[in-house]
Structure 1
Amino acid sequence: MREEAPLYYNDKHDFYAVSRFADCERGLPDWRTFSSAKGAVLELIKSGIEIPPGTLIFEDPPLHDVHRRLLVRVFTPRRIAALEPMVRRFCARTLDPLVGERSFDLISEVSAEMPMRVIGMLLGIPEADQAAIRDTTDESLRTEAGGPMDYSAGTHFTNETFADYIDWRRDHPSDDLMTTLLTAEFEDENGVTRTLTREEVITYVTVVAGAGNETTGRLIGWAGSTLARHPDQRRELAADPALIPGAVEELLRFEPPGPFVGRYVTEDVEFHGATVPAGSAILFLVAAANRDEARYPDGERFDIHRRAGQQLTFGLGAHYCLGAALARLEGRIALEEILKRFPDWDVDWAGAKLAPTSTVRGWETLPLVIGH
């Protein structure tokens, strides 16, 4: 597609797509032309349903900026850095029981556990309840293989499971994200200084839990499969952990958990001599753009020594991923701790299975065979 159909049109599902780095770099920050207000997933954009306020990823400035500023207070560099020892503890607790095993499923044992613990800790959700929260979040993202997401019930925006915690936290403040969201004063789009409503807090927490859990788990899965296919580079990382941050960047470029981003086109716009009409849905295929030879020489090759610079996995512009620093931190610590205990593994490919969702791409099962 990058070579032969740089502006692609899909007749069956009625959407456009661009796959070159330069086109994604141009379009993603341009929120006036390529709006998020109808959603960032194709099915959602086409559904035309009303999206509740506070669904940050599905808003445009200036409203988006009002809501994002609130969350920026939560995801400060200081707060993220302070998580490192706790993330490492979760990781050790997850991995230590697996030492000595000849094989285990990286997804159920590690990918599905660690991000859930971190987000649960940020939100102040008791450990005993974290798995149930994760499972309801994951379930809302799943599709039948080849089938679309169903937005008819509106369940993707608010997870009522959080309501009880929010009510409890309002009466028992703590040093967590939920308390910050409940108590932070801000000036809303109407110039009124206020705190968030209960419904708004539920929406925010749902967005943070969904975004933080699913994608980071997928990243850890891609680390497992990609390094199994590149054992020489895995051995280098095991021998020199200082290379791991660069390897995480290359993993994000090479196998992004979110392979495309949808937008609604607000006015006629031209790509490659053709017009995309106002009212269209367009997908920015960031996974393809991340391998564009024009931007990354030998882009189809995985190379932990690559100095990739700007890549599109976390987006660009107003919607640049708020949790990027947290995802990098979790990816780095997971790799450090996995390689410390398991420097050598292969994958039982017959048992590996990709998960069907419309938003993220990754492994549902990835059985590792240790010390082959």
Structure 2
Amino acid sequence: MDELAASVLRFIADPKSQPIGDNEMFARLVVEKPLMRVGEVWVASRHDVVSALARHPNCVLRMPDGWSGSQHADDRIGELLEGLLPIQPTADHRRLRRLVSGGFSAKSISGLRPVVQSIVDELFAEPLERGECEFIGEVCGPLPVYTTVAMLGLPEADRPQVFEWARAVNALVLAEVTGRFGGWSGAAAPSEAGTAGLTEVVGYVEDLVRRRLADPGEDLISRLARESSGEDGKLSHAELVSMVLTLFMAGIDTVGSGLANVVTALDQNPEAWRRVVVDPSLARAAYVEGTRLLPALPMMGRIVDADVELHGIVIPAGSTVLLMYGAANLDPAAFTDPTRFDLDRTETNHLSFGHGPHYCLGAGLAMLQGEIVLETLARRAPGFRIVDGPAERRGELAFHSRASMRLRFASGEPLVGAVA
């Protein structure tokens, strides 16, 4: 096994072995090993190869063999977990995604701007007053949860509980996937808190669905509930509950981790941040470019249901394929000067939000949240600093992001040479 392949295996076995912001391995993969087999896993890294596999009908997103939600709770809850949108068979996935996509249209997302701005202002109020915060715990984590609570028309009083449920259930599912994926031994065992949280959140969602069916409003759950009403309902009751569960869990980790990575990237590129401070309309471009360079999910697995041939190489049925989004985003054939943070970049085809039928449904909402956070920082704390030393990254296989990030706020000059 050559040195590059060994580096990939080391990264899979110990995600913390690659510091955040160190993209050398990804950049080399694109050029030297666009598609290779490493142990029992196939690794795709070049932009065109990753894109082709992401949209290939034989490369599917599903839970690993042997997984069943029912092993953690009763059969009813297991069935609901197995009905989560991302892991549905192609035809069902297309049908269900079409039903919910209206809630994530450009018009719907644009209408959420004042809501998200209000949440961001609320989350920053106390930290700005005291002059510092634990950015991931106080802003990045709550922001997507509070936004989801607003989208779904839930009481604000339920925010803390929804936050705890979402974190516990996400950790449970992540432990299952990584524990069975590619022989990786670094996954934590599913926790009792995750199992209990799963049972509680399913009960909460089922009660919520019953109330929306009886007394619908204009929120997203009510719209979905109308699709399940009557003899010609497009959604079964179980599908409706699973869909709401998906909405509860979706984006909780990815939005927060992605936002922390963008701030890390800006810390490493102070000239770009100065431009955002001078012209906050560049906040969205900064968010998009930051997620290209430091995606929260630099890779995603697929299962090959039938043989796939690509560039003369056959990936046999039953194989696991790692789509290295983080490497594809550094492909010089797709991006000019790919390792540079460029606010004026015109290539917008990065893969940090996926590609093909599983392109992130909430990408537009994530961009809105990131844009508003950066605008708020530029306006109210342009001289913020990362002050907690070298970044310790999360230990899960899926996420490549910091475990914590302490920011100190200042209204003066934009950050220069801060510690990342």
- Report TM bin, short chain: 0.7 to 0.9
Moved more, 92-101 or 265-274: 265-274
**Separation (CA, whole Å) in 2 of partners of 1:168 and 1:228:** 46
1:112 to 125, 130, 141: 141
- Aligned partners of 2:382 and 2:34: how far apart in 1? 41
The amino acid across from 1:18 in the alignment is: A
When the two chains are superposed, the root-mean-square deviation of aligned CA atoms in Å is: 2.8
Is the counterpart of residue 8 in structure 1 residue 36 in structure 2? yes
Q: Which residue of 2 aligns with 1:26?
A: 52
Give the secondary-structure state (helix, strand or coil) at the position aligned to 2:30: coil
State how far apart, in whole Å, the 2-side matches of 1:103 and 1:146 are. Answer: 37
How big is each residue's C-alpha offset from its partner over 1:319-356, in whole Å with a ceiling of 9 and x where there is no partner?
22211111111111111112211101221243743223
Alignment equivalent of 1:178, drawn from 214, 221, 237:
221
Distance 2:108 2:96 in 1: 19
> For residues 211-250 of structure 1, what are the structure 2 equivalents within 5 Å?
211-250=250-289
| Matched position secondary structure for 1:243 | helix
**8 Å Cα contact 1:250-1:308 kept in structure 2:** no
Residue in structure 1 matched with residue 64 of structure 2 by the alignment: 45
- 2:156 is the counterpart of 1:130: no
What SS does the aligned partner of 1:174 have? coil
Match of 2:60 in 1: 35
Aligned to 1:361, the other structure's residue is in SS state coil
Letter in 1 for 2:153: G
TM-score (norm 1): 0.87
Is 2:373 the partner of 1:334?
A: yes
State the one-letter code of the partner of 1:66. R
Matching residue of 1:347: 386
- C-alpha contact (below 8 Å) 1:106/1:224 kept by paired residues: no
CA distance in 1, matches of 2:244, 2:108: 17
Q: How far, CA to CA, are the matches of 2:300 and 2:235 in structure 1?
A: 28
Match of 1:17 in 2: 43
One of 91, 94, 97 as aligned partner of 2:120: 91
2:295 matched residue in structure 1: 256
Runs (5+) with no aligned partner, structure 2:
1-28, 70-78, 416-420
Pick which of 48-57 and 64-73 moved more: 48-57
Q: Deviations over 1:281-333 (max 9, x none)?
A: 11111111011122112212222222222111222222222111111111111
Partner residue of 1:62? 91
Would the aligned equivalents of 1:351 and 1:365 in 2 still touch at CA under 8 Å? no
Letter in 2 for 1:55: L
8 Å Cα contact 1:7-1:272 kept in structure 2: no
Q: Within 5 A, what are the aligned runs for 1:70-89? A: 70-89=99-118
Could you state the TM-score of these two structures normalised by the residue count of structure 2?
Answer: 0.78
Q: What is the alpha-carbon distance in structure 2 between the residues aligned to residue 185 and residue 199 of structure 1?
A: 10
- 1:166 aligns to what? 209
Q: Please state whether the residue corresponding to 1:62 is helix, strand or coil.
A: helix
What is the CA-CA distance between 1:70 and the residue it aligns to? 0.8
Contact 2:262–2:291 at 8 Å: present in 1 too? no
Match of 2:9 in 1: none
The one-letter code sitting in structure 1 at the alignment partner of 2:64 is I
Aligned residue number for residue 318 of structure 1: 357
Q: What is the CA deviation profile of residues 238-277 of structure 1, one whole-angstrom value per residue up to 9, with x for unaligned ones?
A: 1101211211211121112222221111222234543211
8 Å contact 2:228–2:240 — kept in the other structure? Answer: no
- Segments of structure 1 that go 5 or more residues without pairing to the other structure are none
1:196 and 1:271, CA in 2 relative to 1: closer, same or farther beyond 3 A?
closer
8 Å Cα contact 1:235/1:344 also seen in 2: no
What secondary structure, in the 3-state scheme, does the structure 2 residue paired with 1:258 have? coil
3-state DSSP class of the match of 1:293? coil
Distance 1:369 1:150 in 2: 35
- Measured in 1, the distance between the counterparts of 2:360 and 2:198 equals 18
Partner SS state of residue 275, structure 1: strand
Shift of 1:46: 4.5
* Aligned position for 1:288: 327
Aligned-partner SS, 2:340: coil
Could you tell me how far apart the structure 2 residues matched to 1:101 and 1:231 are?
A: 24
The answer to whether the Cα contact below 8 Å between 2:104 and 2:361 also exists between their aligned partners in 1 is yes
Query: How far off is 1:185 after superposition?
Result: 4.9
Over 3 Å counting, the alpha-carbon distance change for 1:152 and 1:90 in structure 2 is: closer
More displaced 10-residue stretch of structure 1: 74-83 or 20-29? 74-83
CA distance in 2, matches of 1:25, 1:304: 24
CA offsets, 1:168-188, max 9 Å, x none?
33333222111111112599x
Separation (CA, whole Å) in 2 of partners of 1:186 and 1:77: 27
Count of matched residue positions in the alignment of Structure 1 and Structure 2? 359
The alpha-carbon deviation at position 196 of structure 1 amounts to: 2.9
Q: How far, CA to CA, are the matches of 2:52 and 2:198 in structure 1?
A: 29
- CA 1:131–1:57 in 2, change beyond 3 Å: closer, same or farther? same
Structure 1: how far apart are the matches of 2:189 and 2:239? 23
Contact 2:116 2:372 in 1 (8 A): yes
Partner AA of 1:23 in structure 2: V
Quick check: 2:30–2:330 contact (8 Å CA) kept in 1?
no
- Alpha-carbon distance between aligned partners in 2 of 1:134 and 1:357, rounded to the nearest angstrom: 19
AA matched with 1:79: S
Residue identity over aligned pairs, in percent, reads 28
